[in-house]
Chain A
Amino acid sequence: MNETQRTRWTESAVETLIRVLGFSTIGFVALIFLFLLQQGLPTFFEIPLGNLFGTRWYPTFDLFGMLPLVLGSAMVTILAMAMALPLGVATAVFVREVAPDWAREILKPMIEVLAGIPSVVLGFFGMTVIAPLVRESLGAPTGLTAFTGALILAYMSLPTVISIAEDALDAVPKSCRDAGLAMGATQWQTIWRVVVPAARSGIVTAVMLGMGRAIGETMAVMMVTGNAARMPLSLDSLFRPVRTMTATIAAEMGEVAQGSTHYHALFGIGIILFLLTFIINLAASSTIFKKRHRGGLR
């Protein structure tokens, strides 16, 4: 084999390998879904639908009502986003549009640090520091409540919300700002009435991805929400213990017999979680792709 032949052979071998590696991510997503289905699909045959959509999750008594878990996740997530949306967008606007350089130099690394703190450390902090504060200020029997969980979750999703909202603000063309200022608006009016509305779709994406992060968060939520599988129906259940889908899987998988109905049911919750986050990310990324197609925004 001469030099040229060898080069050509290496070239095609490497290209094939890289192509395979490139496509591997699709394979991994498919594999994850397949294994969830394989272990979790039996749930939906073994357990009657009435039981599955019931309001009581007591696996020891063969009661597998997933409603309290789904509602628990929903409540904690929505509350977390209600806190993270205004905070995150305001911080992003501050960092992008208003902050002096020194403040930006502090803020950006701090937000990166927040993204790097392991969820179990935040959960530990929530348990030992925030929960007692919540308990004392409410006079409740326990500080491990939906509210405490939502508070921690809000901070955990902030880095996602802030960085994507920042990108969205960055994508608003300078001509929009100049036009606002030229009309005699103050910088604040321009930001509030022109720049933020123009970045709306990006901000929606930011919130959706933050929400995806919050729904899927496990350890911190499990450690601070108290884990009582109760229907969160009234408003004061905000300040009672609640149990999420993720926490249920993490807490119960270790004690369950492999292949039992309970085991399948936990994988069933996994399927629901996978599909939920898949849909959220699909919706979020479709706005990202749309922007890419439109092109000339910048």
Chain B
Amino acid sequence: MSRPHLLRRSSTPAQQSSSGATNTETAQYTQMNRDLGQRLGFAMLGLAALVVVVPILLVIGTIVARGMGAISWEFLSAMPREGMKAGGILPAIVGTLLLTAGTAIAAIPVGVGGAIYLAEYAGDTWLTRAIRLAIINLAGIPSVVYGLFGLGMFVLFLQFGTSILAGSLTLAIMSLPIIISTAEEALRAVPVEFRTVSASLGGTRWQGIRNIILPQALPGIITGVILGLLRAAGETAPILFTVAAFFLPHLPRTVLDQTMTLPYHLYVISTQVPGMPPQIQYGTALVLLGLVLSLNVVATIIRSYYRRRRQW
């Protein structure tokens, strides 16, 4: 963290001494040139960072500014009416929450278990490397291919039909790599002494993990789980063929029902329905963005809070 400062401090005296030692015009000219080059270079880097950040602010600003007007109690709590051009988006909100909950139930045990295996049990064998490779590849598979897989396996082969169950399982597999890699990192951050002490007191490996390591790593694991679920909540492509309903003016009753979801609803009202009032589109985008970003903030807060509080 402090490296840039060290660099800056150490570079200045070096430059001064070199210009002081050879006090000719050329040396001064080169010195000026070098300083100018450095200033130009740093300015370019700063500009690049601005070009990255400003559009992010623009996207969020635009959606908040144009969507705010649509947000009302009715918008959040009513069924859509008049071909979705009026009323609220309640079924989409409920659908996304249900789907995310289903994803959590399926993904957390597998993800955390996988992380425990990698951090605490796995040796450096070719099998472990194969697991890591599988995780990297799961993270890289296009979201729409997850959709195809969900359709082939859960909807057709296991005959769940287009349902919350099929969609949750598809999204759960998709969020596994994020959950596993962040949870593993959190487990590995627990100092090795904790394990040694647990073992020296006669604890078995699992007792040590359950009573000491897991509680210590819990904030990090929770952060990872939230980040994984957040990605699942905002995805559209994997649920296109596995859950999503175009228009369904009632709430789902069982896990085998279809449901509307926020991301798919936004896609539908911005591309499939002509003459949609922009306010409703931006309002839906704002609700989705708000849901995802607030989860993001929660994850960041948990992480920084516990990082400051922990004693090792």
Contacts and interface: CB of A to CB of B under 8 A. Distances in A.
Given A177-B7, A186-B37, A18 B116 contact: yes
A30 B278 CA distance: 43
Contacts of B55: 155
**Of listed B131, B136, B278, residue having the most chain A CB within 10 A:** B136
Interface stretch (A63-71, A117-125, A135-143, A233-241): A117-125
B130 to A, nearest CB: 6
B234 A250 contact: no
Contacts of B109: 21
A216 B38 contact: no
A77 to B, nearest CB: 12
B7 A24 contact: no
Interface string B262-291: 011011001100000010010001001100
Contact of B44 (A90, A155, A216): A90
A156 B48 CA distance: 16
B131 A26 contact: yes
Contact of A35 (B51, B62, B149, B233): B149
Nearest to A89: B48
Interface stretch (A43-51, A52-60, A91-99): A91-99
A55 to B, nearest CB: 23
A174 interface: yes
Interface string A192-224: 100000000000000001001101111100010
B180 A25 contact: yes
Interface string A249-272: 110011000100000001100100
A209 B270 contact: no
B96 to A, nearest CB: 10
A147 to B, nearest CB: 15
Interface residues of B, number: 100
* Chain A interface category by residue count: 35 or more
A254 B241 contact: yes
A116 interface: yes
Contacts of B113: 17-18, 21-22
A184 interface: yes
Interface string B54-97: 01110110110000000000000000000000000000000000
Chain A CB count within 10 A is highest, among B15, B49, B109, for: B49
B192 interface: no
A266 B148 CA distance: 9
A87 B48 contact: yes
A151 to B, nearest CB: 9
* Chain A residues touching B, majority SS: helix
Interface stretch (B117-125, B193-201, B250-258): B117-125
Contacts, number: 299
B140 A116 contact: no
Contacts of A25: 114, 131, 134-135, 138, 176-177, 180
B110 interface: yes
A112 interface: yes
B63 A121 contact: yes
Interface in B130-168: 130-149, 151-153, 156-157
A91 B56 CA distance: 14
A28 B172 CA distance: 11
Among B48, B122, B142, B293, max chain A CB count under 10 A is at B142
Interface in A9-32: 10-11, 14-15, 17-19, 21-26, 28-29, 31-32
Contact of A209 (B11, B56, B140): B140
Nearest to B18: A184
B18 A98 contact: no
A282 interface: yes
A38 B231 CA distance: 28
B223 to A, nearest CB: 11
Given A181-B7, A186-B15, A273-B142, A122 B148 contact: no
7 tightest Cβ-Cβ pairs between the two chains A and B: A216-B142, A22-B117, A118-B234, A21-B113, A90-B48, A188-B38, A35-B152
23 contacts: A22-B113, A31-B153, A36-B148, A36-B152, A87-B51, A107-B52, A113-B60, A117-B56, A118-B235, A121-B289, A181-B10, A181-B14, A188-B37, A191-B41, A192-B41, A219-B143, A223-B267, A249-B145, A249-B147, A273-B145, A274-B141, A274-B142, A285-B136
Given A19-B117, A26-B131, A186-B37, 17 more contacts: A17-B113, A22-B131, A24-B110, A26-B134, A28-B173, A28-B176, A94-B49, A101-B1, A118-B236, A119-B234, A119-B236, A177-B3, A177-B7, A184-B18, A274-B141, A277-B137, A278-B140
